[in-house]
């Protein structure tokens, strides 16, 4: 049991994350000693589990949309009919990534109002490029002989995509989603500047009110969240690996 836990860092980092999430108030003596004079010692405008669920929801919604859009676009531009659109798709995704999320937030708020929606839009645009690029690379990487054999045996284009191309491209696509989601978890914190509840909320409150413990609490939790997610993706990647690759 202990051996498994040590070999599976996702497990013990996950346990640590969960413990801090629910048990942060128990650490108030520690913060009181380290930062005398700051009351309350623990951020209390919202409970940490509540921040987590909201943060998770934002990233999940944005990443799910970015994954569906990115993979669908990659599939389209790697078909004969969509080949001409490849440059444009790439360009749009690059623009999405180079445009700072803070600027997207600023532009999106007038249209979408305060709250989670502009954050989801910003995360979606920011996260699209790694997924699109990896999905295109993954689909391009399917050996020509394999595709040729599949056609020659009478698989339909849809069957070739579903049974051959996507499974073979899956590890590369997953690597893109992993990068996108991990970056998204960090980036989502700025959503708190436009009223979304995230681990950024204690960070920005702490910065505004000069309360360092809140910054620390938010930062540690968001970092652990990102690490746990990354480790979970590593587990998933092992399962999707193509034999021999």
Partner 1 sequence: MIEIDAVSKSYDGRAVVRDLTLTVPAGALCVLLGPSGCGKSTTLRMINRLVPFDSGAIRVNGEDVLGVATETLRRRIGYAIQSTGLFPHWRVADNIATVPRLLDWRPERVRDRVDELLTLLRLDPAIYAGKFPHQLSGGEQQRVGVARALAADPDILLMDEPFAAVDPITRDALQSELARIHQATGKTIVFVTHDIEEALRLATVIAIMERGRLAQLGTPLEIVEQPASDFVRDFVGVQGIGLKLLSVRRVGERVRRGETAAGAAIGAEASLADALGAMIARRADRLPVADERGETVGAVTLADLVR
> Which positions touch partner 1 (CB under 8 A)?
143, 145-156, 159, 164, 167-168, 242-245
d(CA 219, CA 241): 33
**Distances in whole angstroms, Cα of residue 19 to Cα of each of 15, 25, 47, 131:** 6, 11, 14, 32
CA atoms of 13 and 102, how far apart (whole Å) = 30
Q: What's the min distance (Å) between Cβ of 83 and partner 1?
A: 17
Q: Which is nearer to partner 1, 174 or 228 (CB)?
A: 174
* Residue among 90, 47, 74, 224 at smallest CA distance from 142: 74
> Measured from the CB of residue 170, what is the shortest distance to partner 1 in angstroms?
9
* CB atoms inside a 10 Å sphere around CB 18: 14
Pick the closer one to partner 1 by CB: 34 or 242.
Answer: 242
Least CB distance from residue 135 to partner 1, whole Å? 17
Q: How far is the CB of 235 from partner 1 (least distance, A)?
A: 19
CA distances from 179 to 26, 126, 136, 142, 216 (A): 33, 11, 15, 21, 24
Least distance (Å) between residue 146 CB and partner 1 = 5
The whole-angstrom separation of Cα 221 and Cα 223 is 5
The tokens describing 204, both together, are 């920005």
């Amino acid at each position: 049991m202990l051996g498994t836990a040590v070999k599976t860092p996702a497990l013990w980092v996950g346990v640590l994350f969960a413990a801090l999430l629910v048990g942060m108030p128990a650490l108030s003596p520690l913060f009181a000693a380290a930062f005398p004079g700051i009351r309350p010692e623990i951020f209390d405008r919202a409970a940490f589990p509540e921040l987590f669920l909201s943060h998770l929801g934002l990233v999940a919604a944005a990443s799910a949309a970015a994954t569906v859009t990115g993979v669908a676009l990659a599939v389209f531009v790697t078909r004969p009919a969509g080949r001409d659109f490849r440059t444009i798709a790439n360009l749009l995704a690059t623009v999405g990534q180079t445009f700072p999320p803070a600027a997207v937030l600023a532009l999106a708020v007038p249209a979408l109002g305060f709250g989670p929606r502009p954050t989801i839009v910003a995360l979606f645009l920011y996260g699209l490029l790694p997924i699109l690029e990896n999905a295109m690379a993954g689909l391009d990487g399917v050996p020509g002989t394999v595709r040729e054999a599949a056609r020659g045996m009478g698989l339909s284009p849809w069957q070739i995509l579903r049974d051959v191309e996507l499974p073979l491209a899956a590890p590369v696509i997953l690597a893109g989603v992993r990068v996108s989601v991990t970056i998204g978890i960090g980036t989502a914190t700025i959503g708190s500047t436009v009223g979304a509840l995230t681990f950024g909320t204690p960070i920005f409150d702490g910065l505004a009110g000069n309360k360092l413990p809140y910054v620390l609490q938010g930062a540690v939790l968001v970092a652990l969240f990102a690490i746990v997610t990354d480790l979970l993706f590593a587990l998933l990647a092992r399962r999707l690996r193509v034999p021999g690759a």
